[in-house]
A and B are shown apart, each in its own frame.
Chain A
């Protein structure tokens, strides 16, 4: 039943302006109810007094696409998500269709709604049903599903901005210092932490406790650097930098390798030996050919002098001959 065409789709995003956030956490300490429409209403009522941003996002589903349309939403502050999906361009659309929301693949109970066809499209938006994003448990994949045969789905991937570490390993030497830099993707995090994993345990790197070894710095909020001095082999391994936002944190990974000085020494010595060998070979060859040359030259020298004297006598004869004729 799937049409064979795979149309290109345009995602129309209507972003509400995210003004400067004046969000007070005071009202949200303690119990944050789980996602359910009724309880969402309660939250909405509670927060109507606080100034909390609303993020409005819409996806237009034009027919069946493979894979389903995804949109990335990077959020830094607590907000209420007002998500909607518009279904168009499908043949044989019935007059009404049921739709529901899924979070991380599991249907959200009580989110089923009946949508009427309007202007050949189904607009699935439930004003009573909005998603608060207040902590990291609220992050994830939110999908709107249209209950047709087969189903039509669009997905909103809600995350904190990702943090860039370093893909290739960072190489340094024993006794040397190294600077690791992590970059936050386009937003300013509240803070940064550096840690290493010991199994599943996090060993947080505390620069104030160990100032001779570690120094941290943050540049314009977006770049965090960790300087490690006096490297040893134990420092080899994976370091994590964590950018902390109101609603969660995102990690960047840096792999550090600490080598000893003998490692580059071996290729260096190999090349130096090769150079010495080549230079000696060339000089020996030259010495050898020079010897040959001088032997043959000495032989030629004696021949040469004989020739010259004979030439001279020839010239002499010609000269006298000419003058006699004159």
Chain B
């Protein structure tokens, strides 16, 4: 039985209380981050006519925004590591607002690329990473549930932003809408205000030192995150061995020693593979439906069905992942949901007619929601909440590539074969492969973790016996060691 997910935060997360407003704030932040680039597409037709550019040129705005959001991960992580979540999110909100307001005065498409794409994308990156990080700081036992609820922000915001954008566009035109959207993005600052800093302050650190050493030992054993090579020996102290030279400097900002972390590498490789086939099916669902002869509105309705199922699936998956049967083996649950996604896509070409596609949309919505809800929970589970902020930054910048390349490659496949089904087969196969890879590697990882845990427990027992033999009669208390010593030595003499 692998060790239960532990925290090396140095304090016990509240798992409630102020945590729930934090979840709500994360819900908003994540919602804006993921839904905003997609919801902007409503303005593209008019902006395209206004600037007299082709559709692909205007679509770059969304792509640049998404790319910057992912690539800005490490920058965000560094800032969160240094300053905490709250200031980063608030500055992200302000950045986004300034970007949109500036864009509303734009006179060329390049200005839009810079304002909306780069500055806006950076602002969204400053919203996304800290929200994910702070959930790990506030929740432990109920963390999957909290993650599921927060990630549900994405479909909810997409469903609401789309009609709101249409309304704004009909009333104010694209310039006025950008201006007002800038105002709406200021609400990210509200989310940031909710992110009350929590953690080991200097005061509580002092209190901790007063606690008996036994407790510290347990904390130590837990804090040496199982596959971390650094804190292997509890008696070498709580501080991990410092890597020498330039790596030490970089490590101060962002924890690149994560690349030696077995679980992190497994997660990274599996996810990079998965993301190649993740977004293309959604992008091409409506065109595929139209290709099969379904009218435009029904095709758009398929996406709405997907979003609604997704909305319910995410907190639902969080709840399921929180149960005591699944939580310890949450990596298996994640690999299962990735593989299930793959199976859905492989079966999609069998769907004929509108009803078949509706069923596919329902199953796909469920699969999509499951994967998204667990996406960051599993990373937290592997690396622990302390290193999570660096981990998520590194993961997003590396995932940037498959996320952006996926849909164009899918499009190329569609163009090459003239049929959508080959794209679905390829995406399904890629995701199934990723799911199986994650399953096998995590099985191997869990086994190794168990072994390491047993070894560590054995070592601890040996060390305890050693200590007892050396200083007979002394109890566990380190602080009271001094007070104990006198009477025992007195006893011995007696």
Asked if B248 is an interface residue, CB under 8 A from chain A, the answer is: no
Residues of A within 8 Å of B210, CB to CB, are 308
**Alpha-carbon distance between A179 and B49 when the two chains are bound, in angstroms:** 7
Tell me, rounded to whole Å, the shortest Cβ–Cβ distance linking A88 to chain B.
32
Asked if A178 is an interface residue, CB under 8 A from chain B, the answer is: yes
Contact: A259 with B193, CB < 8 Å? no
CB within 8 Å of A: which of B180-194? 180, 182-184, 186-187, 189-190, 193-194
Contact: B176 with A312, CB < 8 Å? no
**Alpha-carbon distance between A270 and B183 when the two chains are bound, in angstroms:** 9
Tell me, rounded to whole Å, the shortest Cβ–Cβ distance linking A227 to chain B.
9
Contact: A312 with B473, CB < 8 Å? no
Against A, the Cβ 8 Å flags (1 = close, 0 = not) of B142-177 are: 000000000000000000000000000011110111
Asked if B487 is an interface residue, CB under 8 A from chain A, the answer is: yes
Asked if B334 is an interface residue, CB under 8 A from chain A, the answer is: no
Closest to B204 in A: A297
Contact: A315 with B172, CB < 8 Å? no
Contact: A268 with B183, CB < 8 Å? yes
CB within 8 Å of B: which of A234-282? 259, 263-265, 267-272, 275, 278-279, 282
Tell me, rounded to whole Å, the shortest Cβ–Cβ distance linking B478 to chain A.
11
- The CB with the most chain B CB atoms within 10 A, among A178, A263, A319, is that of A319
Contact: B475 with A263, CB < 8 Å? no
The verdict on A323 contacting B488 (CB below 8 Å), with A171-B173, A312-B480 known, is yes
**Alpha-carbon distance between A250 and B172 when the two chains are bound, in angstroms:** 30
Tell me, rounded to whole Å, the shortest Cβ–Cβ distance linking B166 to chain A.
10
Asked if B60 is an interface residue, CB under 8 A from chain A, the answer is: no
**Alpha-carbon distance between A283 and B180 when the two chains are bound, in angstroms:** 25
Asked if B484 is an interface residue, CB under 8 A from chain A, the answer is: yes
Tell me, rounded to whole Å, the shortest Cβ–Cβ distance linking B21 to chain A.
8
Contact: A268 with B175, CB < 8 Å? no
Contact: A172 with B183, CB < 8 Å? no
CB within 8 Å of B: which of A290-316? 304, 308, 312, 315-316
**Alpha-carbon distance between A172 and B175 when the two chains are bound, in angstroms:** 8
**Alpha-carbon distance between A283 and B488 when the two chains are bound, in angstroms:** 54
**Alpha-carbon distance between A286 and B190 when the two chains are bound, in angstroms:** 13
**Alpha-carbon distance between A176 and B186 when the two chains are bound, in angstroms:** 26
**Alpha-carbon distance between A298 and B349 when the two chains are bound, in angstroms:** 67
Residues of A within 8 Å of B479, CB to CB, are 312
Contact: B172 with A271, CB < 8 Å? no
Residues of B within 8 Å of A170, CB to CB, are 173
Asked if B196 is an interface residue, CB under 8 A from chain A, the answer is: yes
Contact: A271 with B180, CB < 8 Å? yes
CB within 8 Å of B: which of A66-105? none
Asked if A181 is an interface residue, CB under 8 A from chain B, the answer is: yes
The verdict on A271 contacting B183 (CB below 8 Å), with A173-B176, A264-B172, A278-B190 known, is yes
- Size category of the binding interface on chain B: 35 or more
Asked if A168 is an interface residue, CB under 8 A from chain B, the answer is: yes
Asked if B493 is an interface residue, CB under 8 A from chain A, the answer is: no
Contact: A275 with B180, CB < 8 Å? no
**Alpha-carbon distance between A319 and B480 when the two chains are bound, in angstroms:** 11
Chain A interface, number of residues (Cβ within 8 angstroms): 38
The verdict on A271 contacting B175 (CB below 8 Å), with A312-B480, A319-B475 known, is no
Contact: B483 with A173, CB < 8 Å? no
Against A, the Cβ 8 Å flags (1 = close, 0 = not) of B476-490 are: 010110011001100
Closest to A317 in B: B487
Tell me, rounded to whole Å, the shortest Cβ–Cβ distance linking B98 to chain A.
12
Contact: A319 with B173, CB < 8 Å? no
The verdict on A171 contacting B171 (CB below 8 Å), with A267-B180, A271-B186, A315-B480 known, is yes
Q: Which of A168, A176, A278 touches B175 (beta carbons < 8 Å)? A: A176
The verdict on A283 contacting B193 (CB below 8 Å), with A176-B175, A264-B176 known, is yes
Residues of B within 8 Å of A312, CB to CB, are 477, 479-480, 483
Residues of B within 8 Å of A275, CB to CB, are 183, 186-187, 189-190
Closest to A301 in B: B207
Asked if A8 is an interface residue, CB under 8 A from chain B, the answer is: no
**Alpha-carbon distance between A177 and B50 when the two chains are bound, in angstroms:** 8
Asked if A320 is an interface residue, CB under 8 A from chain B, the answer is: yes
**Alpha-carbon distance between A283 and B196 when the two chains are bound, in angstroms:** 9
**Alpha-carbon distance between A127 and B483 when the two chains are bound, in angstroms:** 126
Contact: A181 with B483, CB < 8 Å? no
Residues of B within 8 Å of A279, CB to CB, are 189-190, 193
Contact: B491 with A320, CB < 8 Å? yes
Closest to B211 in A: A308
**Alpha-carbon distance between A265 and B473 when the two chains are bound, in angstroms:** 77
Closest to A169 in B: B170
Residues of A within 8 Å of B175, CB to CB, are 172-173, 176, 264
Against A, the Cβ 8 Å flags (1 = close, 0 = not) of B374-399 are: 00000000000000000000000000
CB within 8 Å of B: which of A204-251? 225
Against B, the Cβ 8 Å flags (1 = close, 0 = not) of A144-188 are: 000000000000000000000000111111001111010000000
- The CB with the most chain A CB atoms within 10 A, among B183, B194, B474, B475, is that of B183
**Alpha-carbon distance between A315 and B488 when the two chains are bound, in angstroms:** 13
Asked if B446 is an interface residue, CB under 8 A from chain A, the answer is: no
**Alpha-carbon distance between A171 and B177 when the two chains are bound, in angstroms:** 11
Q: Which of B49, B52, B186, B207 touches A272 (beta carbons < 8 Å)? A: B186
Tell me, rounded to whole Å, the shortest Cβ–Cβ distance linking A308 to chain B.
6
Tell me, rounded to whole Å, the shortest Cβ–Cβ distance linking B102 to chain A.
13
Q: Which of A169, A225, A263, A316 touches B176 (beta carbons < 8 Å)? A: A263
Asked if B179 is an interface residue, CB under 8 A from chain A, the answer is: yes
Contact: B487 with A263, CB < 8 Å? no
Known: A272-B186, A282-B190, A319-B488. 9 other contacts (CB 8 A): A169-B170, A176-B175, A271-B187, A272-B183, A282-B193, A315-B480, A316-B484, A323-B473, A323-B491
Which 10 A-B residue pairings sit nearest by Cβ, starting from the closest?
A171-B173, A264-B176, A271-B183, A268-B183, A282-B193, A279-B193, A275-B186, A264-B179, A312-B480, A278-B190
Chain B interface (Cβ < 8 Å from any Cβ of A): 49-50, 52, 170-173, 175-177, 179-180, 182-184, 186-187, 189-190, 193-194, 196, 207, 210, 473-475, 477, 479-480, 483-484, 487-488, 491
Chain A interface (Cβ < 8 Å from any Cβ of B): 168-173, 176-179, 181, 225, 259, 263-265, 267-272, 275, 278-279, 282-283, 286, 304, 308, 312, 315-316, 318-320, 323-324
User: Can you identify 25 A-B contacts, CB atoms within 8 angstroms?
Assistant: A171-B171, A172-B173, A172-B175, A173-B173, A173-B175, A176-B175, A177-B50, A179-B50, A225-B49, A259-B172, A264-B180, A270-B183, A271-B184, A275-B187, A279-B189, A282-B190, A282-B194, A286-B196, A308-B210, A315-B477, A316-B480, A316-B483, A318-B475, A319-B484, A324-B491
